[in-house]
Structure 1
Amino acid sequence: MIVFRYLSREVLTTLGAVSAVLLVIIMSGRFIKYLAQAAQGLLDPGVLLLIMAYRIPGFLQLILPLGLFLGFLLAYGRLYLDSEMTVLTATGLSPRRLLAYSMAPAAVVALVVAWLSLSLAPLGVQKVTTILNQQDAMTEFDTLEPGRFQSLRDNSRVTYTERLSADRSQLGGVFISERNTSTAGGKDRGVGVLVADTGRQEIHPDGSRYLILQNGFRYDGVPGQADYRAVQYDTYGVLLPKPAVSEDISERDAVTTGELMRSNELQYRGELQWRLSLPILVFVVTLIAVPLAKVNPRQGRFLKLLPAILLYMAYLSLLIAARGALDKGRLPPAIGLWGVHLLFLVLGLLLAFWEPLKARLRGRKPEVAA
């Protein structure tokens, strides 16, 4: 039990460190994306941290299997490099027992991944989808901040206001620059600029919203040319388009696992197999990582790290490709993602038992009996 606790502690400690680093990297990239959307007025800055919190289970369900895989490679690689594994082998720790010990932390991680993929991750996606739908219902007027130039995603319009009332009903010192999509007399007008003393929002019965500007000017023309047209107005209406928030979330990601099990749609069956595949992935990569972690002290602990990572990426890429083929009906559901797991399970068994098998084929026993 002492050896088991020692090995498990080494693996889980490395798993925690690697997973934390990977989580920070992924969350930083995603947070920058959300921050850019908030700067464009597409998202309320107040919901950014809430969105990130709901996305954590979805990130962890993919990070933990990779973290465990690297944890075995780094932790056991250090033990081989420091000759600790040689001492443990001399005291009776066989490759089979080492593999059995390794399956215990793998089972813990698999249970956590199953909880994340089958329950928490879909729930988190549902929450994020609800928040994004609420943001989609907002208009340019709702996300406007006084003293800041705000542009739409396609850069077709830039809006600025000096003052904004507390109830967001009245604007003061309004400036709007937009591209003119229409032509007058067959000539492109280029850019239109609106300035107004005050503005207010008006909602029509059909749900469309307009920004009603009062006491201002409109300038139309092509930059660099001197044929600008200036129009003074008392009242001017500007349609407020709804900002579109982009996110790589599909509808099936938010479907509960129970609904997936009751559905016969190919995409839902593919999603169910994907969620079930993540806990299975943990056990298969453990079977692969334990023998790959064995290194010669003269070779260094990182000799097999790059090939092992490439093997893991090939495993994950094949799962994603099989999921896509299953969604499109090119792969029978009976085979689905299970064929990929079976392929790498066989590979893991060959790696784990190759030395004893080779010894038996040569007509002699392995150096250390199980």
Structure 2
Amino acid sequence: MIVFRYLSREVMLTLSAVSAVLLVIIMSGRFIKYLAQAASGLLDPGSLFLIMGFRLPGFLQLILPLGLFLGILLSYGRLYLESEMTVLSATGMSQQRLFFITLFPATLVAVVVAWLSLSLAPQGANQFQLLLNKQDALTEFDTLEPGRFQALRDGTRVTYTERMTDDRIHLGGVFISQKNVSSDNKDRGISVLVAEKGRQEIRPDGNRYLILDNGYRYDGNPGQADYRVIKYDEYGVLLAKPDVSDEVTDRDAMPTRSLIGSDDIRLRAELQWRISLPLLVFIVTLMAVPLSRVNPRQGRFLKLLPAILLYMAYLTVLIAARGALDKGKIPAALGLWWVHGIFLAIGLGMLYWEPLRLKMASRRSALEVARG
């Protein structure tokens, strides 16, 4: 029991440290991406941390299996390097027994990954999709920042304002450049609006207008001198009404219960993917235990790179099989299970190969002694 607690604690501590580092790296990259979108006006800066919170379960469901895999390699590798595993082996600790001990922390991780994959991650993806729908419904003036040129999503309009009140209603020093395109996609030049100030008004019928005061409008084609200039005291522009959609179409945002029993091949592939992640935990544990065995003279990191390559091959083949299943290239009955079967066989081979090799070597030695 003491050995069981000791080995489990070593694995869990290393797992926590490795997973935390991986989570920080991945979330930092995602945060920079969302920050760039917020800077370009595609996202509301105030919702960045909310978005990261919704995306967190989806990150963790992929990080934890890798964290466990590396945690076993690093923690057991240290024990081999410091000859602690040699002492345990002398007391009867075989590779198979070590694997069954490691199954306890692996089962805890698998339960957490199953909870994330089957429940929490789809809920987070659903809320993330709804938040993006609301972001798409914002007008460019809802995300406009003073002192910065901002392009509209389709690139047909660029807006700039020097000043803006906190309630985002009154603007000062307004510049708007808009590309005019006809219904048959023919270029009809550019319209430029400049104004000393502007304001947003919402009429009783629900329509929103941008009202510009004391400015000019320039219409024409770049490179030509036939510009038309209009001076105005007040100019109104009708803004598109926000269209908030509550519909979530992404399959990774669908609850698991709605995937069960579906005849849609894409939904069946999504269900198999969610079930595959907890299975992945047990199979990588099976592979990590024999891979963690190192010679103290060789160092603990000798097998680390091949082990990571093996893990990446497993995950890459699993993702490729998911894509092939989506396209109907793989029978739904075969699904993703054949990938798990292949790497399960690899893990069993690595786990039992060393004892089998030693047993065969012992028999050969005994035969040589008998003949001698």
Name the TM-score class by shorter chain.
Answer: 0.7 to 0.9
Alignment check: 8 A CA contact 2:212 2:235 kept: yes
Summarize the Cα distance change of 1:241–1:82 in structure 2 as closer, same or farther, 3 Å threshold: farther
Paired position in structure 2 for 1:79: 79
Equivalence for 2:68: 68
Give the equivalent residue in structure 2 for 1:111: 111
**Structure 2 equivalent of residue 313 of structure 1:** 312
Residue by residue over 1:172-199, the C-alpha shift from the partner in whole angstroms, topping out at 9 and shown as x without a partner, is: 32112344557xxx9974x543211333
Aligned residue for 2:339, secondary structure, equals: helix
Instruction: Out of 284-293 and 34-43, give the one that drifted further.
Output: 34-43
Map 1:238-277 → 2, pairs under 5 A: 238=237, 240=239, 251-277=250-276
The alpha-carbon deviation at position 13 of structure 1 amounts to 0.9
Q: What displacement does 1:361 show?
A: 4.5
TM-score by length of 1: 0.87
Q: CA deviation at 1:145?
A: 2.9
CA distance in 2, matches of 1:44, 1:65: 33
Alpha-carbon distance in structure 2 between the residues aligned to 1:166 and 1:294: 62
Contact 1:153 1:243 in 2 (8 A): no
- Counterparts of 1:149 and 1:337 in 2: how far apart (Å)? 48
Q: Give the deviation of 1:357 after TM superposition.
A: 2.3
Between the aligned partners of 2:172 and 2:94, the Cα distance in structure 1 is: 78
Instruction: Rate the CA distance shift 1:298–1:149 in 2: closer, same or farther, 3 A.
Output: same
Give the letter aligned to residue 308 of structure 1: A
Aligned residue number for residue 13 of structure 2: 13
Structure-to-structure mapping, 1:1-370, within 5 angstroms: 1-153=1-153, 155-181=155-181, 189=189, 192-201=191-200, 210-220=209-219, 229-238=228-237, 240=239, 251-361=250-360, 364=363
1:138–1:243 contact (8 Å) kept in structure 2: yes
Q: Give the match for residue 368 of structure 2.
A: none
- In structure 1, list runs of 5 or more residues that go unmatched: none
SS across alignment from 1:280 = helix
The question of whether the paired residues in 2 share the 8 Å contact of 1:157 and 1:179 is answered with yes
CA-to-aligned-CA distance 1:234-258 (integer Å, 9 cap, x gap): 44454656999xxxx9711111111
Higher mean C-alpha displacement, 110-119 vs 350-359: 350-359
Deviations 1:96-124 (A, max 9, x none): 11111111110110000001001110111
- CA, structure 1 residues 229+300, in 2 after alignment: closer, same or farther (shift >3 Å)? farther
1:140-165: CA deviation from partner (whole Å, max 9, x where unpaired): 12222334432334554331223434
The Cα offsets for residues 244-277 of structure 1, whole Å up to 9 and x where unpaired, read as: 9xxxx97111111111113221111111100000
Q: Normalised by the size of structure 2, how large is the TM-score? A: 0.87
Q: Is the 8 A contact 1:40 1:153 kept in 2?
A: no
Contact 2:8/2:105 (<8 A) preserved = yes
Once the two structures are TM-superposed, the CA of residue 327 in structure 1 deviates from its matched residue by 1.2
Q: Is the 8 A contact 1:175 1:196 kept in 2?
A: yes
Contact 1:40 1:152 in 2 (8 A): no
SS at 1:211 equivalent: strand
> What percentage of residue pairs aligned between the two structures are identical?
70
Aligned length: 358
CA distance in 2, matches of 1:338, 1:54: 29
Give structure 2 stretches of 5+ with no counterpart.
366-372
Work out the CA distance in 2 between the residues paired with 1:205 and 1:346.
Answer: 70
The range that moved more, 217-226 or 346-355, is: 217-226
Higher alpha-carbon deviation: 285-294 or 37-46: 37-46
| Cα shift readout 1:40-72 (whole Å, capped 9, x = no counterpart) | 222111111111011111100000000000111
Secondary structure class of the residue paired with 1:262: coil
1 CA distance for matches of 2:137 and 2:268?
32
CA contact (8 A) 1:8 1:102 kept: yes
- Partner Cα distance (1:342, 1:113) in 2: 20
Q: Determine the C-alpha separation between the residues in 1 that align with 2:156 and 2:81.
A: 60
Counterpart-to-counterpart distance in 2, 1:187 and 1:272: 47
The change in CA–CA distance for 1:158 and 1:25 in structure 2 (over 3 A counts) is: same
The residue identity in structure 2 corresponding to 1:284 is I
Please tell me whether the aligned partners of residues 140 and 243 of structure 1 are also in contact (alpha carbons under 8 angstroms). no
Aligned partners of 1:273 and 1:282: how far apart in 2? 15
SS at match of 2:97: helix
